[in-house]
Structure 1
């Protein structure tokens, strides 16, 4: 089903109009200053591609020709702000002005000399033609340049034509396979722009997968491509279906296990866990847009929680009396979620934010169906951010082919309203009695501390006691006994 949707999308063409590119005034001044010191600056890459796609751009890449002095370029740029040298051997300088990020690089060629992503021989050459310099780029849509002073687009590999035809096509067979990350880049561009990938490009991607070239990629680089995918794609499902078709899921066995894992047709008429998971990702994209969530960190962990929410199902799915069950898949999903995320990041806080969302993703419906008391809502807040949990639960419910989807927002809205009554929708219930209070009562830190604090919290939640009454109870049960 996902594949059919993708094939439908790629039939449309984009109407491309060759118009003068609009750039920030500060960049115009920078380009003029660079020209005055003898450089020939050419705007390149994503900012040009996005111009044709009518996408707002805040990041601009500039390639410098006809001048090989990094020092002169740096002196010119320092008139406009704080310049950072990314790598002297790569000849790259960065500059941030207001909300804009500018990268300046000397014209260069690159040649693969090892397995790592830094194992490239970089040769700067001010005398390169634009076509020679553009050969190092990955796709034709990213090889278009713009000469500001001539008001001229430089398109040696017909990238504009590819944009019109909505296709991702590599530039050169030999240079393309030098960096296996381009498999992920092809996928995320195809998903973000809803473009097709050229057949020959697909063949080269599959060749890299079969050769196991992707295993040498640093996890940080892969995470960055996933980040762009989640932050910029309206249909993340397209990317993950492409990853499946290209064979990339062999590097993520936790995801591959979802394919052909059955589900009960009453609750999941759409098919297996893989199809359901892709549908939930697209629903999360809609939710984030509707809720206007701007925090990139939050957007990312919501997507990853959605992607991982059913990773436990392959471990417990069985057929009982002709019904497919997956009891305890929420808790069983913790270990595969840890395993999957560890392949992408070392950031423990990020992973620890996602785990409770996976473990508790059914809780909103369970509490709603039981019409649970505020006590249960209070206890849930101690385990997970309730507002985030409601969004993951909503995506999970909407991401299926059931007819009664109206029930989905009813459950999550009910829980969120209860949490808002207590002001705990985004924070855990704050215990009235804490360790310092026990010390004031004469207790010394010990194993008994936790028992007493749990006792105090139970009184706060179950009996709705205030702090003074709780302390009186503690004195009675632990001091006067």
Structure 2
């Protein structure tokens, strides 16, 4: 007997489209006959041989077929579970391994009815995240992050008893040692699927999780000048920028995610330099000072170097578009900025930063960004950046031998290209005059 389970049932009841379907099979002991049948419909792959799961992939959808099972915690860690399949399990027994009531709802194909042993449908209607059973819930501390991201994604409230349990789990050694990859995946869902990521981040703070991310914790209470940040401290501003980023998403999940993280980290340098001078609060050079804590924070949650390398230059340069616009506008400066980071990405971060506050006039945000983007796009350097005309091989072709001086010569060439708009031939002539004996 096939029963639809988990997120696809929950999302159907929330009117959210789904392309991934989990199906639990009852009253059978083997997947052999099921596998033969499924091969008529698409590519079938067996995963989790010890407890039996078949993955069916079609051009539009993905289906997981699994034998009904229960789980027993036998040792620490997320892999420390004994999985027991049984053809005699009832749906109520099998659903005990689920984390929340809203994820424990099943749908019986044959009888065309919902199976709801733990009143998950009521909790969906009442917008409540509620765990099923104390003893099973605490077995995996990642469920704390799952409670947070679900509350943020669906704009639900967390049941008081579930909150209490989560706060106790945050203090455990097993919570502290959660694999970073698992935490990163839950935060990814929080950012990409929430209409207001600030809600999830506020719950992180409420649950006491920020103490494990000191780079974020110090943003709380870090004061800002009321003229530019009437909304409050750096933490409040950061959360507002995340909500603004939701409106600016590009549709490319990887790109959107590193833009969210750039905004989460963009003011990490402020606690190191915020001062009050003559009644005015300043945070000079906080962009550059934010690089090190950004690196440290990101290393806590991911090992992906490329991802970190995307975020760092956005943090380091997040004020540059406004600085260019407020100074005498110069295409030279835009060219130099394109060498430091992707201007398209930077302008999204800068716009969310500017609008993520309670200033009365936000039109200036759009004006500044529009100017910088227009200039960069006109010169075709908004994404890939300016391409230096002179490379090391060109210097070798002039008869110069590779040396430490090469960097100075290449800088000299680049300055001629940017400041005087010289073509390659004229730049080479200038290099000959200056450096070739």
Same fold (TM over 0.5): yes
1:407 aligns with 2:364: yes
Match of 1:134 in 2: 95
Match of 1:389 in 2: 346
Q: Assess if the C-alpha contact under 8 Å between 2:77 and 2:174 holds in 1.
A: no
The alignment status of 1:316 with 2:270, answered yes or no, reads no
Tell me the residue number matched to 1:471.
428
8 A Cα contact 2:45 2:54, kept in partner: yes
Gap regions ≥5 residues in structure 2: none
**1:304 to partner: Cα distance:** 0.4
Shift of 1:327: 0.8
Equivalence for 1:328:
285
Q: Distance between the aligned counterparts of 1:49 and 1:239, measured in 2? A: 20
Residues 221-240 of structure 1 mapped to structure 2, 5 A cutoff: 221-240=182-201
Whole-angstrom distance in 1 between the partners of 2:386 and 2:246 = 29
1:304-453 alignment runs, 5 A limit: 304-453=261-410
**CA-atom RMSD, angstroms?**
1.2
Contact 2:400–2:436 at 8 Å: present in 1 too? no
Post-superposition offset of 1:391 = 0.7
Is the 1:305–1:392 Cα contact (8 Å) retained in structure 2?
Answer: yes
- TM-score, scaled to structure 2: 0.98
Distance 1:476 1:110, change over 3 A: same
CA positional deviation for 1:169: 0.4
Mapped partners of 1:90, 1:471: distance in 2: 68
Within-5 A mapping of 1:237-248: 237-248=198-209
- Residue 419 of structure 2 corresponds to 462
Residue number among 43, 50, 70 corresponding to 1:109 in the alignment? 70
Does residue 267 of the first structure (1) align with residue 228 of the second (2)? yes
In 1, distance between residues paired with 2:34 and 2:180?
Answer: 33
Structure 1 distance, partners of 2:274, 2:226, is 13
Q: Distance in 1 between matches of 2:278 and 2:10?
A: 56
The 2-side partners of 1:269 and 1:424 are apart by: 35
- Structure 1 equivalent of residue 172 of structure 2: 211
**Structure 1 residue runs without a partner (length 5+):** 1-39
Aligned residues: 437
CA offset digits 1:202-261 (Å, max 9, x no partner): 011001012243112111111110111111111000000000001111111111110011
TM-score normalised to the size of structure 1? 0.89
In 2: Cα distance, 1:80 partner to 1:402 partner = 56
The residue number in structure 2 matching 1:277 is 238
For each residue in 1:146-183, what CA deviation from the matched residue of structure 2 results, as whole angstroms up to 9, or x when unmatched? 11222111111110000000000001110000000000
Alignment of 1:131-170 (within 5 A): 131-170=92-131
Residues 368-406 of structure 1: per-residue CA shift (max 9 Å, x gap): 000331110000000011111111011111111111111
How far 1:473 moved relative to its partner?
Answer: 1.2
Q: Secondary structure at the match of 1:281?
A: helix
